[in-house]
A = this chain, B = another copy of it.
Amino acid sequence: MVWEITKTVKKIPKLRRPILIEGLPGIGNVGKVAVDFIIDELKAKKFYDIFSYTFPHSVFVNEKNLVSLPQISLYYKQFKNKRNDLLLLAGDIQPTDEVASYEFTEKILDIFEKFNGKEIITLGGIGLSTAPKKPKIYCTGNSKEIIKKYKNGINLDNKLYGVVGPIIGVSGLLLGMAEKRNIKAISLLAETLGHPLYLGIKGAREIIKILNKKLELKVDIKKLEKEIDEAESEMMKITKGLTDVSKQTALKKIKNKFDLSYIG
């Protein structure tokens, strides 16, 4: 029993051809910040917890001083007047080893297909050596059509080739493995500071702006904009010289200080 997918609601809702947005921890934590914020603002509801022996063998201490196992969860958001509902994939960690990463991706695609999902958007960062003032957003995908669709009317740079190396982890594999199932998938990648403790809030904001335009999400980004400057400078100060073990804690301290309660 290495993988556990647990329902956390009584009744699984019927979703209209949902679009899956993935935002797990990664470069600059851009994807995580963006998806955690969207979940918070849209009041998306958690309905699946995913757990595996291949996750880190440790527990986090949360703000109530209680422990929690590392976990990845699926959320959904139903809309009244739209063709496509949302599936949101968020979590504390990524599966670390290669086989587990592939297995996890297959399980997410299985669920996506069960809901007759429409397409997949993965979010991530492109690490720069200095924090960008106004992060550019790049995209890549597994078909010309989905790239064309998302670029239409948007200032989106699809000349990723030659800019980044391989896209590592679930954000990349979801695109590659989706293609094998004829599922269209795109990745939006924001420039950010390539530091493991950095919270790429500005990059996340730029990504959410695009999602707002293309998916008409109406996510209010004011809260995100308000605290950006303070948070970003504070972040580097506090986390300077920290060991890996203290990362999670440091990030949560910053989050509390700046009332960034949307960060999971």
Contacts and interface: CB of A to CB of B under 8 A. Distances in A.
B65 A248 contact: no
Chain B CB within 10 Å — which of A169, A243, A245 has the most? A245
A105 B127 CA distance: 36
Given A53-B98, A163-B249, A143 B58 contact: no
A128 interface: no
Interface in A66-100: 66-70, 96-99
A103 B53 contact: yes
Contacts of A165: 243-249
A92 to B, nearest CB: 9
A166 B66 contact: no
Nearest to A166: B58
Contacts of A179: 67, 69
A65 B103 contact: no
A60 interface: yes
Interface stretch (A108-116, A153-161, A205-213, A217-225): A153-161
B246 A173 contact: no
A192 interface: no
Interface string A162-199: 11111111001101110100000001000000000000
A162 to B, nearest CB: 5
A96 B99 CA distance: 12
A125 B177 CA distance: 33
A63 interface: yes
23 contacts: A54-B98, A55-B98, A56-B98, A56-B168, A57-B98, A58-B169, A58-B173, A59-B173, A61-B140, A61-B164, A61-B167, A62-B161, A65-B141, A65-B160, A66-B143, A66-B144, A67-B172, A161-B249, A161-B252, A162-B253, A164-B246, A165-B249, A166-B245
Given A53-B99, A65-B140, A67-B176, 20 more contacts: A53-B98, A55-B98, A56-B168, A58-B167, A59-B175, A61-B161, A61-B166, A63-B161, A64-B144, A66-B140, A66-B141, A66-B142, A67-B141, A67-B172, A67-B179, A69-B179, A162-B249, A165-B248, A165-B249, A166-B245
